[in-house]
Amino acid sequence: MRQSEIERATRKPTESLDAYDLYLRALAACHQVTSEGVENAVRQLERALEIDPSYAPAAALAARCRVLQVMQGWARRTPELEAVALHLARRAIATGKDDPDTLWMAGHTIATLSGDHKAGAAAIERALVLNPNAALAWSHRGWLHLYLDEADPAIAAFERASRLSPLDPQGHGIKGGLARAHLTAGRYEEAMRWVDQTILEQPRWTPALWMKIVLYELMGRHSEACAALKPMLEAWPGFTIEAFTSYAKLHYTARLRGIYVEALRKAGLPEE
């Protein structure tokens, strides 16, 4: 215990308290899950990196913000955006290889935007070696299992994350992961139960909103699927089949992507 305390005391997140304060403000802004909040977070993180270019958590969170902007329809997935986010994520891993939060954020970004699931998983596994109680690392380990349609290992990871942090500010991601895992496994009623909990916790989170449409169609509830388009399009005006496939191309398997696209088309989502 004494050695652990010595190591903790000698590990500083940054030499600048100003940069650390900006990082915490950005983290709070991200938790709002609004376009303005995430854009504000990006500005705060850019200032933090100007103060301390080696501050790995700020670089990792800045990369994660780009993923969130694409996921929510606040920014188009372009080669330029991907290049910026991946540069930040790889930079974060290079300078923050001993910080669990840096590693899971950067690893998830790499897996989501580059399709390099092996590299993303390696970063998240290292985060869990450093801190086996890192709830969000377990959650994002679950998401990487889902990228390969591995439902049961994903559920185990999400359940562990939930036990470790039952009131986590990002708990909607844990519940949403459980919803997608049960959908992947064909357990639609259970998936719907989790997706409803996800939306109750975070009504603006688009993966849960489009998942609900898909589940309604898979359960033969077509009129409810059509009605569920309204809150989806309120959260992401202009959402289309093309927008979904562009977002999902590297972290939904071809099988699952096909299921989603067929259901979204049935519900009346326009092609482009």
pTM of the shown model: 0.91
Number of domain units in the chain? 2
Q: At a CB cut-off of 8 Å and minimum separation 6, what does 210 contact?
A: 232, 239, 244, 260, 264
Residue 137 lies in a domain: no
Q: What is the pLDDT of residues 114-141, one digit of tens each?
A: 999 999 999 999 999 999 999 999 999 9
Whether residues 72 and 32 share a domain: the answer is yes
Cα–Cα distance measured from residue 26 to residue 66, given in angstroms and rounded to the nearest whole number: 13
Cα–Cα distance measured from residue 159 to residue 36, given in angstroms and rounded to the nearest whole number: 31
Residue 183 lies in a domain: yes
Q: Coil, strand or helix: which one is 254?
A: helix
Whether residues 75 and 157 share a domain: the answer is no
What pLDDT does 80 receive? 96
Residue 237 lies in a domain: yes
Min mean pLDDT across 8-22, 24-38, 204-218 is at 8-22
Among 98, 132, 166, the domain boundary falls at 132
Whether residues 5 and 122 share a domain: the answer is yes
Residue 36 lies in a domain: yes
Among 132, 166, 189, the domain boundary falls at 132
Whether residues 124 and 203 share a domain: the answer is no
Cβ burial 87-116 (10 Å sphere, 16+ → b, else e): ebbbbbbebbeebbbbbbbbbbbbbbbbee
Residue 39 lies in a domain: yes
Whether residues 159 and 236 share a domain: the answer is yes
Cα–Cα distance measured from residue 55 to residue 20, given in angstroms and rounded to the nearest whole number: 9
Instruction: Specify whether the CB–CB gap between 139 and 170 falls below 8 A.
Output: yes
Whether residues 78 and 119 share a domain: the answer is yes
Residue 102 lies in a domain: yes
What pLDDT does 3 receive? 47
Single-letter residue type at 178: L
Whether residues 86 and 193 share a domain: the answer is no
Whether residues 68 and 118 share a domain: the answer is yes
For residue 8, what is the domain's CATH number? 1.25.40.10
Whether residues 21 and 96 share a domain: the answer is yes
Residue 145 lies in a domain: no
Residue 139 lies in a domain: no
DSSP state of 125: H
Between the CA of residue 36 and those of 78, 181, 261, what are the distances in Å?
20, 30, 29
In 3D space, the residue among 3, 5, 2, 24 whose CA is nearest the CA of residue 13 turns out to be 24
Whether residues 126 and 158 share a domain: the answer is no
Whether residues 13 and 105 share a domain: the answer is yes
Single-letter residue type at 158: F
Whether residues 123 and 178 share a domain: the answer is no
Q: What is the pLDDT of residues 236-251, one digit of tens each?
A: 999 999 999 999 998 9
Q: Give the residue numbers spanning the domain of 162.
A: 153-272
Q: What is the pLDDT of residues 52-109, one digit of tens each?
A: 999 999 999 999 999 999 999 999 889 999 999 999 999 999 999 999 999 999 999 9
Among 102, 132, 162, the domain boundary falls at 132
